């Protein structure tokens, strides 16, 4: 059995365990240098947490395991096709190598596909249905600019 | 001062407090029925957590406060323009009303804009640079299909 098969099997086993515990059918593992460094199953309902997807929880555990929010060099194996939140979370933590077992197409008959929301989120913000995204600029002096304050503080900490 | 101004001020104050504690300049609050039900600041470095953006932590706290992962009827006020992970997290938890104070354009000179990664993530997956997203289908019987197992279990719990 290849490493890829083994890691995907572990993600699916996490999903199966989660089903037995009344959770949703999603599991994921994060792999670095051929070793699983983090694993998680979906906990949305158990934790009343809309962000508690398997992949997102696995990324959080991976950061903790590595002592850094940067996860470059890691791969993610997920039982299901990652949703746009988890795709963005992976890409923003420098993970580009992602393998999944069950596609959105396979998930669709069970109401588990996120393809429709992914398509919506790929549109320009002003064309997304049901979205009001407002920029409310602040009147501040150059010194009062939030990011300038951060830059000064970060600079003084160097 | 309007409600919107007050909520945005609170998000900015969270960002300012976070800067003083050595964190990144981002804060967010979740509002329901005119009341702040959750607040958070960025904790990426403090928690070694790539997902610990202010908005994402605020959504997690809001779910806990409401006892549900569904956050419809909530609004988010953020000090900075939400990144694609947080945008997806908000949309997937049914939040469509989002207001921010500092735009990506204002963040760009400070290296804090996520506009480039947002543009990349809006492309079809097979056109995104540095992304290998692989579907590795499983050979299973209809009974062994992960989502079928979940459907049976969920059905039996009804």
pLDDT in tens, chain B (158 residues): 788 899 999 999 999 999 999 999 999 999 999 999 999 999 999 999 999 999 999 999 999 999 999 999 999 999 999 999 999 999 999 999 999 999 999 999 999 999 999 999 999 999 999 999 999 999 888 889 999 999 998 876 54
- Is residue B152 less than 8 Å (CB to CB) from chain A? no
Residue-level pLDDT at A156: 65
**Reported pTM:** 0.95
- Is residue B29 less than 8 Å (CB to CB) from chain A? no
Find out whether B10 and B39 touch, Cβ atoms under 8 Å: yes
Find out whether A114 and A104 touch, Cβ atoms under 8 Å: yes
Phi, psi at residue B89, to the nearest 5°?
Answer: -60, -40
Residue-level pLDDT at A158: 45
B142 part of the active site: no
Q: Is the ipTM of this complex over 0.90?
A: yes
Helices (H), chain A: 3-20, 44-47, 54-66, 84-92, 104-107, 115-121, 146-157
**CA dist A93 to A71, A73, A142, B52, B72, Å?**
5, 10, 31, 11, 28
- The C-alpha R_g of chain B, in whole angstroms, comes to 19
pLDDT over 50 (residue A155)? yes
pLDDT over 70 (residue A69)? yes
Average pLDDT over residues A74-81: 98
Per-residue confidence band for A1, with pLDDT thresholds at 50, 70 and 90: confident
Instruction: Report the distance separating Cα A21 and Cα A23, nearest Å.
Output: 6
Q: Report the 10 Å Cβ neighbour count for B137.
A: 10
Q: Provide the shortest C-alpha distance from residue B78 to chain A (in Å).
A: 10
In B131-150, the residues whose Cβ lies within 8 Å of chain A are 131-138, 145-150
Instruction: Report the distance separating Cα A103 and Cα A133, nearest Å.
Output: 30
- Among candidates B69, B124, B157 on the partner chain, residue whose Cβ is nearest the Cβ of A44: B69
Find out whether A38 and A59 touch, Cβ atoms under 8 Å: yes
In B5-24, the residues whose Cβ lies within 8 Å of chain A are 5, 8, 12, 15-16, 19-20, 22, 24
β-strand partners of A74: A32
DSSP letter (8 states) at residue A42: -
Q: Provide the shortest C-alpha distance from residue A34 to chain B (in Å).
A: 17
Q: Provide the shortest C-alpha distance from residue A94 to chain B (in Å).
A: 9
């Amino acid at each position: 059995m290849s490493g890829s098969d083994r890691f995907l099997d572990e993600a699916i086993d996490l999903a199966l365990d989660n089903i037995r515990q009344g959770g949703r059918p999603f599991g994921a593992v994060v792999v670095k240098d051929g070793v699983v460094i983090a694993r998680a199953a979906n906990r949305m309902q158990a934790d009343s947490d809309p962000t508690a997807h398997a992949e997102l929880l696995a990324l959080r555990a991976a950061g903790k395991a590595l002592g850094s929010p940067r996860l470059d060099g890691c791969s993610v194996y997920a039982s299901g096709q990652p949703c746009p939140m988890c795709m963005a979370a992976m890409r923003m933590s420098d993970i580009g190598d992602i393998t999944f077992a069950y596609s959105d197409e396979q998930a669709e008959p069970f109401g588990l596909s996120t393809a429709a929301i992914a398509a919506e989120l790929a549109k320009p913000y002003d064309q997304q249905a049901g979205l009001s995204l407002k920029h409310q600029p602040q009147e501040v002096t150059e010194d009062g600019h939030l990011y300038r304050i951060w830059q000064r503080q970060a600079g003084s900490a160097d």
